[in-house]
């Protein structure tokens, strides 16, 4: 499909695609993707400021996440941040505790591990802050340690340390 068709059908199809993704409807998602270009799918939902991939991650549907990632020509789409919170789709998957989607996304693009949210934290720190120890451990093993010790990553490293100490209880009790 060409860009003119995207402009003509794009907004309506995009809204219907977003609805299919929220509903976890893989068949409808595929149908709408066939009518669109990858560039059109990269547009953000005006209601949420999130991409189709963000919505799929939040819905927790691995099949839809995979379908969207496979549809796009490269894995840079994983680096798109939401307008309001600066979260990538990875961070949204972490927020909802969806480990298999987190692992899949990291396997596709390790650069997403180094993208700070608007609050300045890396995904690994957010996982620990939100209480997802298993996801946090996985992300800690995958995150380049330079990212945690760099000038920008210092707050994330400190957050991981203090959150881990807090999770141990009241110092030995």
What mean pLDDT do residues 16-32 have?
Answer: 95
Identify the pLDDT of residue 152: 59
What mean pLDDT do residues 32-55 have?
Answer: 89
Q: How many domains does the chain have?
A: 1
Look at residue 53 and tell me if it is in a domain. Answer: yes
Identify the pLDDT of residue 38: 87
Question: In which band, very low, low, confident or very high, does the pLDDT at 149 lie, cut at 50, 70 and 90?
Answer: confident
Question: In which band, very low, low, confident or very high, does the pLDDT at 9 lie, cut at 50, 70 and 90?
Answer: very low
Q: Compute and round to an integer the Cα radius of gyration of the chain.
A: 17
**Cα–Cα distance between 90 and 8 in angstroms, integer?**
31
Given a cut of 80, whether residue 159 has pLDDT beyond it is no
More confident residue, 154 or 4: 154
Kindly provide the b/e burial profile for residues 15-40, where b requires at least 16 CB atoms within 10 angstroms of the residue's own CB: ebbbebbbeebbebbeebbebbbeeb
Identify the pLDDT of residue 150: 64
Identify the pLDDT of residue 90: 97
Look at residue 100 and tell me if it is in a domain. Answer: yes
The C-alpha angle 137, 141, 147, rounded to 5 degrees, equals: 110
DSSP string, 156-173: HHHHHHHHHHHHT-STT-
Look at residue 156 and tell me if it is in a domain. Answer: yes
Look at residue 173 and tell me if it is in a domain. Answer: no
| Domain extent for 76 | 3-167
**Cα–Cα distance between 86 and 7 in angstroms, integer?**
26
pLDDT tens sequence across 57-105: 999 999 999 999 999 888 888 888 888 888 999 999 999 999 999 999 9
Nearest to 126 by CA among 93, 100, 152: 93
Which helix (H) or strand (E) segment holds residue 3: the answer is helix 3-22
Q: What is the CATH number of the domain that holds 159?
A: 1.25.40.20
pTM for the whole structure: 0.83
Identify the pLDDT of residue 164: 66
More confident residue, 70 or 165: 70
Look at residue 172 and tell me if it is in a domain. Answer: no
**Cα–Cα distance between 7 and 9 in angstroms, integer?**
6
């Amino acid at each position: 499909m060409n860009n003119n068709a995207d402009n003509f059908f794009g907004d309506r199809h995009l809204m219907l695609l977003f609805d299919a993704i929220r509903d976890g409807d893989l068949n409808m998602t595929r149908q709408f993707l066939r009518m669109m270009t990858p560039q059109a799918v990269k547009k953000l939902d005006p209601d949420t400021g999130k991409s189709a991939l963000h919505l799929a991650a939040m819905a927790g549907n691995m099949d839809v996440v995979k379908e969207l990632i496979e549809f796009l020509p490269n894995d840079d789409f994983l680096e798109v941040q939401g307008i309001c919170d600066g979260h990538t789709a990875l961070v949204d998957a972490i927020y909802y505790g969806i480990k298999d989607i987190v692992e899949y996304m990291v396997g596709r693009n390790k650069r997403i591990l180094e993208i700070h949210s608007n609050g300045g934290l890396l995904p690994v720190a957010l996982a620990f802050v939100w209480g997802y120890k298993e996801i946090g451990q996985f992300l800690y093993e995958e995150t380049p340690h330079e990212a945690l010790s760099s000038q920008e990553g210092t707050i994330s490293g400190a957050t991981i340390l203090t959150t881990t100490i807090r999770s141990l209880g009241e110092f030995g009790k």
